[in-house]
Structure 1
Amino acid sequence: MTLSTERGHDGGTAPAVLPVAPVGEPTQNPHAPRHVGTGGDPRSLLRRYQRLALVGDSGSALIAATTALLFRFGPEPPGSYLAITLGLPVLWLLVVGLQRGYEQRFLGTGPEEYRRIADAGLLMFAGIAVVSYALRSELARGYVFVAIPATLVLSLLARRQLRSWIYRLRRRGIGLQRVLVVGRADAVVSVIEKLDHEPQHGLVPVGACVPFVGVAVSHVHDVPVVGDPSRVLQAVDETGAHVVAVVSHPDMSGQALRRLSWALEERGVELIVSPGIIEVAGPRLSIRPVAGLSLLHLERPSASGGRMLGKTLLDKVAGLTMLALASPLFLAIGAAVRLTSTGPALYRQTRVGVDGKTFTMLKFRSMVADADAQRAALLASSDGNGVLFKMKDDPRVTRVGAFIRRFSLDELPQLINVVRGDMSLVGPRPPLPEEVAGYNDDAVRRLKVKPGVTGLWQVSGRSDLSWEESLRLDLRYTDNWSLALDLSILWRTLRAVTRGSGAY
């Protein structure tokens, strides 16, 4: 990360590059535009998203209710249920609205939008049950058990399509919110890097306010410095910022931050404050008001209890179901491996699981039988990430092995490990004992949960990731896992596997 600096008052010194931390020069994301495109006011885009969300939710409820009506009653339903079917979309919109599922700050970014839709589904299901009991007029269970889950699923799919649409626009520079970042230079650089790396969230840094120490700073990570933190309001006017992001600055707290929020409110500019806690998901953070203070409460990650029981049940039920459905594929792959190369169909390897316990992981053999003996001679040609040995054109891989690796079919036997309880469907990558022997304290934390057949590493690049990126993703999952996140990763895994990116 770099700062471009110039001497403040001797006029004529050429800009220079001053390293902030010895982490190497960052690579600019080609999809992260510095300037807002021709899509107009980002608020207009969010209002359009909001209207489309209303249409999508009402349409989802109508389709689901109609399907439930035909499923339960056939082509000649009772008049009362026809009225319920027509009223269900309105009820669904009201319930989602009560769960704040149409607030613009939750739309088009982060998991909160999906969570509020899911909460609305549970609330409507519980509400219908209570009202039916109170009025002693129980609705047909076949109708309810089709209409409500289908409404929820279709609404989530509609929101997913809306996300894809708005992400495409934002990657083209349309509808981006201009952000002024305020704080210490190192913290500002960190925020700018993260916003550049994920432009789909709709925030583009257009200016920075950093304190000057010794020399005046002209740019921070290619973003122009438009003053120090005392010039925030002038900088907002100069840059046309829609959002001010305050990060790690002692003078920007307490009463000063409160006055800044008042001044920005008058200008219609949003204020966001970074607490400095990285890789922690929103559900673990909450504000606890105490004695006039807004205290940020950080909940402990859940490693036991009801949520973990739900994850275990999901692993067992889904693992057994997938094993049964994939059994013909197991036989076909096993036969192909045995017929095209000498050696067993399955490859067994010792891996490290939760709390450091070792287990035998199963895979379809994709290499020649003596592949392990040949590894030492190939170490110099590794394309891995410095910790893992990987080769894009590994001579030990068989023809069948190359195909099943391309689509991750070699990993199907790990479903047996899932049913046994050694692994989970979703989790960190299962490490080798020699990898664990070299772990630092941070890396050891990834052993807090069961390793997974898939995970954030699988849907984010697989073998193309560096060790640091793989570790960061595994730690992010360990600290923030949830059933909703597991389902999201399983869905994204399907797309990653069909593309075959990063698989070798």
Structure 2
Amino acid sequence: MIDETPAIRFPISFDRDNPVVELPERLTVLEAVPFKQAVSQLLQPDIAYQQIIINFAKTRFIDSSGIGALIASLKSAQEKNIELILESVQPPVMATLSMTGLIDILDIRSSEKWSNKESPETHPSVRSLVKRTIDITGAIVGLVITGLILIPIAIAIKLSSPGPIFFSQTRCGWMGKKFQMWKFRSMYADAEEKKKEIENQACGAFFKNDNDPRITKIGHFLRRTSLDEFPQFLNVLKGDMSLVGTRPPTSEEVNCYQIPEWQRLDVKPGMTGEWQVNGRSQVRNFEDVIKLDLKYQHSWSLLYDLKLIWKTVWVIFNKDSGAV
């Protein structure tokens, strides 16, 4: 997590009795929390505004925490039946909103001319063509292996319990962009409906139970060997995920995030990462997940990715690693 957020003030003017919030050059985790607080003050029940205008004229950079603050402010405004309008959005910010799909959700009334080919400023791991090449190569090799093991795993899943072979779930990737993540099914078909009945042994915005009764017999084996994750090579090939990154959260988890926790979405989610090689079964506190994710972001390099891939292979074959 970050240190205590410094006091940052956002100038507010008025346009036809509607407040206009002026944003600074950057909307990052340092500015996102006080920005959300400024909007929240404008949503007090004793104030009856029809619109709140967010002026992006000066803003050239927005990170995942800024995205989180925008989404949180939009939801709060909608609850009060107040329009949240974005004005004078600059091309780099428009590129980010476009790539995350938020351009279709947010009310953008005016913006500078921009090209959908423009790449937003983001974490170097997301921009790296070499990392993307490694991802594509690894995904192709992984999908070939997946094809070889598909039939025996499919038969084992079907014999273990009725239901589909694959499990698909909406997850949130870079900047909170939603995508469908695929796995071999390791739980009973009605697992999602029974989730509320299972005790969550984790603290914070993620779910974990060591003795989850929803996991099938073959499911325990698939998870212990990480074979259940092989279909995710398709997500890597499509670009929604990377071979190495952060743990991909569910939409429900992201909805519970505080603004600083959005920092973990500054990079693409990965099939493996710090959380995998540091004993994911032993991680119980979401604060520890954040620390591991930020460690990866700060330490990232192509060599660091290769080291994490090697450590993942070692962890999978070391039964005493405590990784699953």
TM-score normalised to structure 2 length:
0.59
Q: Partner of 2:247: helix, strand, or coil?
A: coil
Query: Residues of 2 paired with 1:317 and 1:473: CA distance?
Result: 26
In structure 1, what is the Cα distance between the partners aligned to 2:136 and 2:151?
22
Q: Structure 2 residue aligned with 1:426, among 225, 238, 244?
A: 244
Aligned to 2:253: 435
Q: Identify unmatched segments of 5+ residues in structure 1.
A: 1-299
Q: CA deviation at 1:498?
A: 1.6
SS at match of 1:458: helix
Instruction: Determine whether 1:457 maps to 2:275.
Output: yes
- Cα gap change, 1:478 to 1:400, in 2 (>3 Å): same
- Deviation string 1:53-104 (CA, Å, 9 cap, x unpaired) is xxxxxxxxxxxxxxxxxxxxxxxxxxxxxxxxxxxxxxxxxxxxxxxxxxxx
CA distance in 1 between counterparts of 2:309 and 2:159 reads: 32
| Cα separation, 2, equivalents of 1:502 and 1:347 | 24
**Correspondent of 1:347 among 153, 156, 167:** 167
CA distance in 2 between counterparts of 1:314 and 1:448 reads 20
Query: Cα gap change, 1:387/1:502 in structure 2, threshold over 3 Å: closer, same or farther?
Result: farther
**Whole-Å separation in 2 of the counterparts to 1:312 and 1:354:** 14
SS at 2:132's partner residue? helix
Kept in 2: contact 1:427–1:477 (CA 8 A) = yes
Residue aligning to 1:302: 124
Letter in 2 for 1:472: K
Return the alpha-carbon distance in structure 1 between the equivalents of residues 209 and 125 of structure 2.
Answer: 35
Q: Which of the residues 219, 231, 246 maps onto 1:413? A: 231
Structure 1 residue 387 corresponds to structure 2 residue 205: yes
Deviation at 1:366, TM superposition (A): 0.7
The count of residues paired between Structure 1 and Structure 2 equals: 201
Partner of 1:471: 290
Could you say if the C-alpha distance between residues 304 and 339 of structure 1 is closer, same or farther in structure 2, counting changes exceeding 3 Å?
Answer: closer
Alpha-carbon distance in 1 for matches of 2:125, 2:226? 28
Give the aligned partner of residue 371 of structure 1: 191
Is the 8 Å Cα contact of residues 142 and 230 (structure 2) preserved in structure 1? Answer: no
Distance 1:303 1:485, change over 3 A: closer
Partner of residue 302 from structure 2, selected from 483, 493, 496 = 483
Quote the offset at 1:301 in angstroms: 5.2
2:158 to 331, 335, 338: 338
Q: Which of residues 135, 147, 157 in structure 2 aligns to 1:327?
A: 147
> 1:496: Cα distance to partner?
1.2
Measured after TM superposition, the shift of residue 457 of structure 1 is 0.5
User: What are the within-5 Å matches in structure 2 for residues 178-327 of structure 1?
Assistant: 302-303=124-125, 305=127, 308-327=128-147
- Out of 181, 198, 206, the position equivalent to 1:361 is 181
| Residue equivalent to 1:397 | 215
**Closer, same or farther in 2 for the Cα pair 1:354/1:389, shift >3 Å?**
same
CA deviations over 1:121-151 (Å, ceiling 9, x no partner)? xxxxxxxxxxxxxxxxxxxxxxxxxxxxxxx
**Which stretches in structure 2 are left out of the alignment for 5+ residues?**
1-121
Superposition deviation, residue 392 in structure 1:
1.2
| Residue-by-residue CA offset, 1:16-65 (whole Å, 9 max, x unaligned) | xxxxxxxxxxxxxxxxxxxxxxxxxxxxxxxxxxxxxxxxxxxxxxxxxx
Contact between 2:200 and 2:208, CA under 8 Å: does it hold in 1? yes
1:312, CA displacement in angstroms?
0.4
Looking at structure 2, the residues matched to 497 and 399 of structure 1 have their Cα atoms a distance apart, in angstroms, of: 19
Offset at residue 338 of structure 1 (A)? 1.6
Change beyond 3 A, Cα 1:397–1:301:
closer
**Contact 1:364-1:413 within 8 A present in 2 as well:** yes
Change beyond 3 A, Cα 1:304–1:346: closer
**Alignment partners' CA distance in 2, 1:407 and 1:303:** 27
- Deviation (angstroms), 1:424: 0.2
Contact preservation (8 Å) 1:405, 1:503:
no
| Contact 1:301–1:480 under 8 Å retained in 2 | no
Deviations 1:208-234 (A, max 9, x none): xxxxxxxxxxxxxxxxxxxxxxxxxxx
2:157 touches 2:218 (CA, 8 Å); kept in 1? yes
Q: Which secondary structure state, in structure 1, belongs to the residue aligned with residue 277 of structure 2?
A: coil
1:457 alignment partner, SS class: helix
- Please give the alpha-carbon distance, in whole angstroms, between the structure 2 residues aligned to 1:357 and 1:426: 17
Residues 301, 345 of structure 1: alpha-carbon distance in 2 compared, 3 angstrom cutoff: closer
In 2, Cα distance between equivalents of 1:385 and 1:407: 25
Alpha-carbon shift at residue 503 of structure 1 (Å): 4.8
SS at match of 2:276: coil
d(CA) in 2 for partners of 1:332 and 1:318?
22
CA contact (8 A) 1:354 1:449 kept: yes
Kindly indicate whether the alpha-carbon contact (under 8 Å) linking 2:235 and 2:241 is maintained by their aligned counterparts in 1.
yes
Residue 440 of structure 1: CA displacement? Answer: 2.5
How does 1:53-72 map onto structure 2 within 5 Å?
none
CA contact (8 A) 1:426 1:455 kept: yes
Asked whether the equivalents of residues 164 and 185 of structure 2 are also in contact (C-alpha less than 8 Å), the reply is yes
- Report the equivalent of 1:444: 262
